[in-house]
Structure 1
Amino acid sequence: MLLNTGHYYSQSLYMMEVLRPVLVNINGRIYRKNLVQEESYEEEEEEDYSYSAAEAEQCLDEPCDAYNIEQTDRGFRCAIDVPSVLYKYIIGKKGETRKRLESETKTSINIPKQGVEGQIVITGAHRAAVASALTRIEVLIDSFRRKQPFTHFLSFALNHAQVQQGFLRFREQVLERCGQDAGVDESIFQNPAKLHLTIGTLALLNEQEVTRANKLLQQCQDVIRDITEAKPLPVEVRGIEYMNDDPSTVDVLYAKVAVKDGSDQLQQIADRLVECFAAAGLMERERDRVKIHGTIMNTLFRKDPSAEDKGASGRPNAKDREAFNAKNILQMFDDFYFGTFELNSVHISQRFSTDSTGYYSSAGHVTFS
């Protein structure tokens, strides 16, 4: 008798997904997704924000005490804060998404006018119906929030005067000795005033979310000071590295950053910050540990000097980028010394911005000492 191993494998996966469902973190609350029948779903055009019936069932409609659902004379009511830029995804094309949500949950969903920051209000005759609509809206919003470009990022500034001078020497020597190598030119070097280490990226879609992120950062200050013993960290920027497999085809080159005494304090701070912001639903955790490095050359800068890269490994958006040959740079400048300085703060930096020092504008910061 022949055994259909493919069917057996798919059934095993099915059982694993039932027993260990996917968990979704939304605003610090954890939901589990129901297993649904796979459907082909093509990405919609920019103005089409409807969703399928299967997607509507992706999470369990479980009433939760975390919801602030109030009883009124006419039934039940709940208000949820949603950035105005996301209203369109709940309304859908020609209002189809909202109509479907209201029909399936037997609720009424009131959404402010586009561009007006406010609350989406859900009302219904039964508490369970309001909780169901709220859960579906939060899952829907979370899905589209993940597609928004990041607006801010947690950063350690590496633009100390000594490091900037070291970086300018590096740039001058690389152009002099390796300027004939494929793809190497002045346009792909980082702006020295914006040298930084990215801890993690944030999509903060209105002032309320910026304020929330800043408050969370302030709450992390005691944890940071416990790690640093309330002192600045002497940090050394020395050496370079790349993260893809072929040194002759590189998109991003990094400077290595480490605490001068060899301790892992900087790593601890970065990891704890990501842990804190991810638990609050403000950041996605992309890897187990933050990669401690600072971008010094990036092919994104070739077309857009203000570009910020997420710091991912590999070659993202390779079709839009002209890589460079880093073989000689890596050989000649492997242990290049950029400088040493005392690091004493972490910032919520605003993307595509510049402050009076030439660094990114800060939406909030805390100090180590």
Structure 2
Amino acid sequence: MRLLKLQVFDYSHFVSLPLAIHPELVSKLVGFQNSILGSSDACIDENPDGNSDGDNSEDSAQEQQLGNISVELEVADDEESVKVDVSVRPLDSNAPKENEEPKSSNKSDLKIGKSVFIKPQTFHLTVLMLKLWNQKRVDLAAQVLKSTSSRVLDALDNRPVFVRLKGLDLMRGSLAKAQVIYAPAEEIDSENRLLHACKIMIDAFVEAGLVIDKDAKSELKLHATVMNARHRKRGKKGRFSSFNARAIFEHFGSEEWGEYLIREAHLSQRFKYDENGYYHCCASIPFPENISS
């Protein structure tokens, strides 16, 4: 039997809390992107495979250099042999060339291309990244998420939960060499109900054996990625280039994105989209929307 290390597979799915369901937030993101680019053209249709999974951007160089590949995986315990198509298409085909400057209006020092921005219709909070390499694991993951529904509702005390998005922050690096920029998310009340609910979902996936070790040990940091250098043109050594974010933070570092209701949790599939432009939903559980009497 030929065994392959799990690390060669890109993340295929993730548990998300959709934010793109709020049209006013999507509009703010489009305005943010256009303000930086100095363009009247909405970024909404650019970078179709862009994702906002910023906590996934520090993956190994091996994963970063994946292209369109199919890997034959031999699976024990009477599971069938499956082909895994890791479709990581180039995300920067429309990005400016190294020596090409995008339109920049009064912010000519930004020099940021559209490929760095996430697609507004996919805006979300990431709860957990998953590597599901066959349909059996996808089906199991869907069952696991659904099985947490009652416990999640209990953790939320059957009351709506809102998050506030304010300002910008860096996932790593420095302002001069930024890789991931995100909007920090905080629960409106101080009860940490949302974090508790997310912990219930994460623990369920870990117990089902669907989470790789490094992700099982990671501390949950609720955030919504707005820019990711992973989508930008790679350098000569195949590395993702960083970008200068000092002017971005000067202009938008205290941006008020607003307060938004979290309506559900999804098992989302990367690189596949539903009609509304959001990641394909493999399963979902509802969050409370009305205050129970």
| TM-score category (smaller protein) | 0.5 to 0.7
Cα distance, 1:239 vs. partner? 1.3
Cα distance, 1:356 vs. partner? 0.9
Cα distance, 1:148 vs. partner? 1.8
The amino acid that maps onto 2:11 is F
The amino acid that maps onto 2:277 is G
The amino acid that maps onto 1:213 is A
Write out aligned runs for 1:353-364 (5 A): 353-364=272-283
Cα distance, 1:263 vs. partner? 3.7
User: In structure 2, do the counterparts of structure 1 residues 251 and 318 end up closer, same or farther at CA, with 3 Å as the change threshold?
Assistant: farther
Partner of 2:148: 220
Percent identity, aligned pairs only?
27
Confirm whether residue 289 of structure 1 aligns to residue 215 of structure 2: no
The amino acid that maps onto 1:359 is Y
Partner of 2:124: 196
Number of equivalenced pairs:
218
Structure 2 gap segments, 5+ residues each: 39-104, 289-293
Q: Give the TM-score, by structure 2 length.
A: 0.68
CA RMSD of aligned residues (A): 2.4
Q: Secondary structure at the match of 2:8?
A: coil
Confirm whether residue 239 of structure 1 aligns to residue 158 of structure 2: no
| Counterpart contact for 2:267–2:284, Cα < 8 Å | yes
Greater relative CO, 1 or 2 (CA 8 Å, sep 6+): 2
Confirm whether residue 170 of structure 1 aligns to residue 100 of structure 2: no
Cα distance, 1:231 vs. partner? 2.9
Distance 1:349 1:303 in 2: 26
The amino acid that maps onto 1:151 is S
Cα distance, 1:355 vs. partner? 0.3
The amino acid that maps onto 2:123 is L
More helix by share: 1
| Counterpart contact for 1:253–1:298, Cα < 8 Å | yes
- After superposing on structure 2, the runs of 4+ consecutive aligned residues of structure 1 that deviate more than 6 Å are none
Write out aligned runs for 1:94-173 (5 A): 144-159=5-20, 160-173=22-35
Partner of 1:302: 232
Distance 2:149 2:195 in 1: 15
| Counterpart contact for 2:130–2:210, Cα < 8 Å | yes
Residues 204-213 or 356-365, more deviating: 204-213
The amino acid that maps onto 1:323 is S
Partner of 1:329: 248
| Counterpart contact for 1:346–1:365, Cα < 8 Å | yes
User: In structure 2, do the counterparts of structure 1 residues 171 and 262 end up closer, same or farther at CA, with 3 Å as the change threshold?
Assistant: farther
1:298-340 CA deviation, whole Å, 9 max, x = no partner?
1222359xxxxxxxxxxxx984222111112123212211232
Distance 2:106 2:15 in 1: 33
| Counterpart contact for 2:145–2:285, Cα < 8 Å | yes
| Counterpart contact for 1:227–1:269, Cα < 8 Å | yes
Q: Give the TM-score, by structure 1 length.
A: 0.55
Partner of 1:365: 284
Distance 1:199 1:353 in 2: 18
| Counterpart contact for 2:15–2:268, Cα < 8 Å | yes
Q: Secondary structure at the match of 1:199?
A: strand
The amino acid that maps onto 2:193 is Q
Distance 1:183 1:266 in 2: 37
